[in-house]
């Protein structure tokens, strides 16, 4: 599914973004499948058995406190106060063993012609450790933003508007790369262009369902297609790169 049929290659030919905002989990790093499996295992230990599809449809792109609140409400499960801490501890342990950047993303970061940054629903500690483990930390020094900095997380536009203000960029000149629908909706609400990346392992088995969705965004599943979609962002060979803003 290299490019979604609803918006053909060339739709962004005349768009010249001044800032690219990357989500982290599922976009830069192939972490969402690890997060989902860690959560499912821990929930089983507390007597709740749900499947990966439920996580894919209900939890992707949302902060952990939001996810935990949903579990408590939807399943009437009295999670202990230690649940979040235990989840984060196990998750980072699993990241140390299995976490990798999404294939091809470093080639994009090495050749972008404009500044870029990260905006994520993850905690500050998790995103910094995740980027470090995946070997991406050097790309985003002092240009990493989390939902902890705003009142409302995705799908509210708060985080993306906060990033645009901090980076000194008009929201209309920003391009957001997201994988989850809450992230896509947040970018749209902020008045930003958005591409939806669905190449992460957490979309295995459900990519065909995306064809039934509708909305003003382009879906792609390989970073090798990125510059075909937004050719203005590729730095000419021999020129220096953009490392943050």
Catalytic center residues: 23, 25
3-state secondary structure of 241: coil
For every residue of 189-238, DSSP letters joined together read HTT-EEEEE--SGGGTTTGGGGGG--SS-EEES-GGGHHHH-GGGBPPTT
CA–CA separation, 43 and 47 (whole Å): 6
CA–CA separation, 91 and 202 (whole Å): 15
- Whether 154 contacts 182, CB under 8 Å: yes
Per DSSP, which regions of the chain are E strands?
Answer: 19-22, 116-120, 144-146, 174-178, 193-197, 218-220
Residue 29 DSSP label = B
Mention every residue, 6+ apart, whose C-beta is less than 8 A from residue 9.
3, 228, 229
* 22, 69, 209, 242 from 213: Cα distances, Å: 22, 27, 7, 34
Residue 240 DSSP label = P
CA–CA separation, 176 and 193 (whole Å): 6
């Amino acid at each position: 599914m290299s490019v979604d049929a609803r918006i053909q290659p060339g739709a962004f030919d005349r768009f010249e973004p001044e800032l690219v905002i990357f989500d982290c989990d599922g976009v830069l790093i192939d972490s969402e499948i690890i997060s989902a499996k860690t959560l499912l295992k821990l929930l089983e230990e507390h007597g709740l058995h749900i499947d990966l599809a439920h996580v894919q449809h209900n939890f992707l792109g949302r902060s952990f406190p939001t996810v935990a609140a949903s579990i408590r409400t939807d399943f009437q499960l009295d999670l202990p106060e230690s649940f979040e801490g235990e989840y984060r501890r196990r998750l980072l342990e699993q990241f140390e063993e299995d976490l990798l950047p999404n294939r091809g993303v470093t080639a994009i970061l090495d050749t972008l012609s404009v500044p870029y940054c990260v905006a994520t629903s993850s905690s500050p500690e998790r995103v910094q450790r995740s980027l470090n483990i995946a070997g991406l930390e050097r790309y985003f020094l002092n240009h990493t933003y989390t939902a902890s900095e705003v009142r409302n997380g995705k799908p509210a536009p708060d985080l993306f508007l906060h990033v645009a203000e901090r980076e000194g960029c008009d929201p209309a000149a920003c391009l957001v790369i997201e994988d989850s629908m809450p992230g896509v909706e947040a970018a749209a609400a902020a008045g930003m262009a958005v591409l939806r990346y669905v190449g992460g392992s957490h979309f295995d088995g459900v990519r065909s369902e995306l064809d039934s969705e509708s909305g003003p965004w382009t879906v792609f599943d390989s970073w090798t297609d990125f510059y075909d979609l937004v050719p203005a962002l590729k730095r000419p060979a021999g020129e220096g790169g953009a490392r943050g803003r």
